[in-house]
Amino acid sequence: MHVILKFVDKTDIKAIPMTSLIIYESVFGNTALVAEAVREGLSLQGEAVALNYTEVKEADIARADLIVAGSPTQKFSTMPGIRKFIGDLPAGSLKGKLVTAFDTRIDVKKINNRFLSLMAGIFGYAASPLAAQLRRKGGKLVVPAMGFFVDDTKGPLTEKEAERARTWAGAIRTDR
């Protein structure tokens, strides 16, 4: 028996444009700024739309190949609006969709507060539970959830975090 190996020149492979939907909740505008930066990064791979969860329609979810959810971290948790929105999606509604999540958070290392660091270590941030929620609805996690820093509860975004969000999103590989 002979095995013939054929090598494919990857320059011949055409990328299929991807449709991305960024769903977010924002209280002070910082998470909205990150969602827009994520949209910009994903737009390099195809159509990308960022919508507050209150604006998302069933058709938006149906046509998306990639769904990115974002929330501020408050009280070491996801905001209740987006948590309920994703929780109310029908079981299996994200089957065949790629998913990931992000949050905005205060950098507890900068604050240098042991208690706050301990609480963050125990309870975590919004992004990972948000990603887990998307997976429970049938989505396939394409990259680990990511956190982006704000300088204080009301912001602003820490310097260069919008650029970091844009770069993170642009690097998401969606080869199926």
Mean pLDDT, rounded, of the chain = 87
- Return the CATH number at 86: 3.40.50.360
- Given a cut of 70, whether residue 57 has pLDDT beyond it is yes
Question: 75 and 153 in contact (C-beta within 8 Å)?
Answer: no
Q: Quick check: is 5 in a domain?
A: no
Q: Quick check: is 66 in a domain?
A: yes
Identify the pLDDT of residue 16: 61
Identify the pLDDT of residue 107: 78
Identify the pLDDT of residue 11: 43
Give the helix/strand (H/E) hosting 134. Answer: helix 127-136
Q: Quick check: is 50 in a domain?
A: yes
Residue 91's φ and ψ, nearest 5 degrees, are -55, 135
Taking the alpha carbons of 54, 55, 57, 61 in that order, is the dihedral positive or negative? negative
Confidence band for 175, pLDDT divided at 50, 70 and 90? low
| Model confidence pLDDT, tens digit, residues 5-22 | 433 344 443 456 789 999
Q: Quick check: is 77 in a domain?
A: yes
Q: Kindly state the average pLDDT of the residues 95-121.
A: 82
Q: What percent of the chain is predicted at pLDDT more than 90? A: 70
Domain count, the chain: 1
Q: Kindly state the average pLDDT of the residues 15-32.
A: 91
Q: 53: number of CA atoms within 13 Å, CB side? A: 21
Q: Quick check: is 138 in a domain?
A: yes
Q: Quick check: is 6 in a domain?
A: no
Q: Quick check: is 115 in a domain?
A: yes
Confidence band for 176, pLDDT divided at 50, 70 and 90? very low
Rg (CA), the chain: 18
- Full residue range of the structural domain in which residue 44 is found: 18-168
Distances (CA, A) of 4 to 1, 7, 13, 62, 104: 10, 10, 21, 41, 51
| Model confidence pLDDT, tens digit, residues 127-174 | 999 999 999 999 999 999 999 999 998 999 999 999 999 999 999 876
Work out the widest C-alpha separation in the chain, in whole angstroms: 68
The residue that leads in pLDDT, 8 or 123, is 123
